[in-house]
Structure 1
């Protein structure tokens, strides 16, 4: 969809667009919509074809969304395009150490937060589809699909990139210029690298297997995180099958690479039975629905989130381990922060690519993301360490959580995205 030659915010017609965004994942598309709603023109470039973006295939991943993230999606208009059977409620979460039910665990709920539930669970492919639907129909957003970005650079005056058709590399590249360029092209971002921005990476040496399972007993909209000593299992409650009404859940199995390969080699029946046993048969008999999908676990944190005429959002900025379910929510938080900074530039007629202005976004996002990133990595290290001392420590943490309401309130605040409601003592006013 072509964009207008001049935007309400930027009257300079010499640029092809106001913001170049590399990557048409949910973060890139959501940013484009947020900027267009402000008045900027946004051009999104993506290597995948239009069909894969408009009708993404299920990839096994289910995304836990916080209350602020849902509010963002509602403002953008993509939440309203989800089907009812794609929206699951997360009312409670339980954390188990070792075999399920053998020792004390931790139960988390939204009580005292002013919320009815901890959050929502939505399939990743549904979020991708609805982000495309909104972006493709938003005036001011231009999406170039099936093209590969071969070069990016920034100068004092502008940012620019060269792109070619993914299937036609013999053709001369097209050059686009804008005041600002944003990388939103995955945690292994080639754009980030070309901008000269490094990143610290932590390879956990593990693989995550995700899939859907039907089961006999209702899940009660309760999620479970089971830290077993050989592998981690998460059970996420999903809406009942819209056709049969059968209860469904998402299983997330994290294991060493060789063990993951052995699990993937099992028959669907044996794999479902393996999950059923690890979960202590709490949901009755389980049956695999669809395919199993495997992903290597690598966490990424960019050395900086912005510079002169460039910024990073989504996994290009921070790629999280999925155990605390913060990755997608951090991406949407980055979209909100950057959009607000650029909205201020629009109101003041300021330069979009001003380094000082972009640093406001970078600093705010770092203050939010860094504690979550480091805390998540500490949790992963603690709950995957099979030595005796870490085992004792995590048992003490879980056992003590029930006697430390402030600790529970802090954890719930991270799950809901709301500030903690600190429990009052008898002496509190």
Structure 2
């Protein structure tokens, strides 16, 4: 039995998730009544995600901010601005796409208990009160806006703390990230239960919902990678951006697609920056930072899945609220973990804007894991490749501003 489990764990997570997906579909189609107990695995998986997500957000964001060193003359300021512009643009594009192609989901229980907000004033009031919530209460009640606010404040306050203190916080962050990996390792079994429950309850039509949702997500990913990001790069360097874009996608994006982890792809990005001849003092900071806060793909996922939940529950969204969602998805994306599926854990933060309960939000997270075989791979490829793209853009933009000539090393760009 031990050797069997060892062999199972040696199989890639993507393949294991596919196995769980197929088994869940087959059981739901063939013996839905006899295998009803299978759905408990989905509930347990969602429960584990709900338990670890608040701590993940708190320590990951707090550690990233506390360990950021100031005073060094680098391009970090420009890179952070680029990260922010790209992530906000991604969230905005996702919101626009969701308005043009509205998606609804198949939820199992809890939808009848939702009380949608009456308007933008109530939404803003909810945000303000959540921001000043007691930190312990925010953790207990999964108030992600409050958790993110406290993580930001504590991170800034701890920037002057002793290195030993920062290392301790970093160790906690690493430990929780490891726990997330353990939880996600059970994703095949959890997804089997979630798929079984969805199909046995709603029929095979649930798969169509997931298929259209996946197409919308991938369409946004490709549009951002091939249109929005190149446009941002061109505005800064005033040269053809596509050779650099294709090289980052080929070297960084391809490996990130298979590792499905921005954190795991950091060494690849470091080597690519060295190959591009970039300043080591800059990319040694910007690449690890980007692995945590540069999450355009995560902003897309958060926005689209949140609005899918909103559409499912029949909540009306005006332009002002949609703009707030774009900002919130960008901010919350910065708290997404550098491991597989990390952005999905931030969906409840955005859902809280519309009065959607944490239970329903975590059902949406479960849907995200069902399509995560492709969604998370493409999302990570976009996130990780743009870390190098914007690090290079900032350096080339500085050289252009100073009147220096620069050549982009784009050998084997495609």
Q: TM-score, normalised by structure 1?
A: 0.28
Q: Which structure is higher in RCO with an 8 Å CA cutoff and minimum separation 6?
A: 2
Q: Which has the higher strand share?
A: 1
Larger Rg: 1
Q: Which has the higher helix share?
A: 2
Q: TM-score, normalised by structure 2?
A: 0.28
